[in-house]
Every structure is written in structure tokens, then in C-alpha cells.
């Protein structure tokens, strides 16, 4: 295993997930006094694993048809469109 690649991916995903809707929803579920906190942790962790698996599968599938640089441009453009939309709505 390439530790440098692992840490790069871990850091990027960790930073992207901090304070997002997923974390806020998890905090909301965990704040319920009647819900087991380990159950919240397990369910949220499994959901993130499944979502990541879908991302890996989709990326693997698309890489057979679209080169990496083009995929980077598409992702970057998508983020810019979303950012512009959020700014416009504000």
C-alpha cells in the first residue's frame, strides 16, 4: 500500500466531510437521548463506506471512457457551478 496516496486521500476526504450536511445530520441523530451512540456511529460509518464505494465504482467505470484530466475538469467545473449557484441563492 502506498502510504502517501492513502494519506492524501484520507486528508482530502476528511477535510471535505468536516462540517458538511452529513456530519450535521449525524450530530442531530446522536443528540437524541434515546438513540444508542454506537448505533449512530455504525450506521453513519456504513453509509459513508457505501457512498465511497459507489464513488470508486463510478470513477473506475468512467475512467474506461474518459481520461483523468478531462474528469478533473468536469469535477472542477461542477464544483464551480455549485459554488456559483450557492452564491446566487445567498
Tell me the pLDDT of the chain (90 aa) as tens digits. 799 999 999 998 888 888 888 899 999 999 999 999 999 999 999 999 999 999 999 999 999 999 999 999 998 999 899 989 989 988
Give pLDDT, residue 2.
Answer: 92
Long-range contacts of 7-11 (CB under 8 A, 24+ apart): none
Q: What is the CA radius of gyration of the chain?
A: 17
Contact between 22 and 48 under an 8 Å Cβ cutoff? The reply is: yes
What CA–CA distance (Å, rounded) separates 39 from 58?
28
| 89 CA to centre of own chain | 23
Nearest to 74 by CA among 1, 65, 44: 65
Give the number of domains in the chain: 1
Give pLDDT, residue 1.
Answer: 79
Q: Domain containing 28: what range?
A: 3-89
Give pLDDT, residue 53.
Answer: 96
Amino acid at each position: 500500500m502506498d502510504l502517501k496516496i492513502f494519506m492524501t486521500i484520507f486528508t482530502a476526504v476528511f477535510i471535505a466531510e468536516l462540517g458538511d450536511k452529513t456530519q450535521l445530520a449525524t450530530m442531530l441523530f446522536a443528540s437524541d437521548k434515546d438513540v444508542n451512540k454506537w448505533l449512530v456511529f455504525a450506521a453513519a460509518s456504513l453509509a459513508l463506506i457505501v457512498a465511497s464505494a459507489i464513488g470508486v465504482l463510478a470513477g473506475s467505470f468512467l475512467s474506461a471512457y474518459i481520461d483523468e484530466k478531462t474528469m478533473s475538469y468536469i469535477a472542477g467545473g461542477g464544483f464551480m457551478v455549485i459554488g456559483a449557484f450557492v452564491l446566487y441563492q445567498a
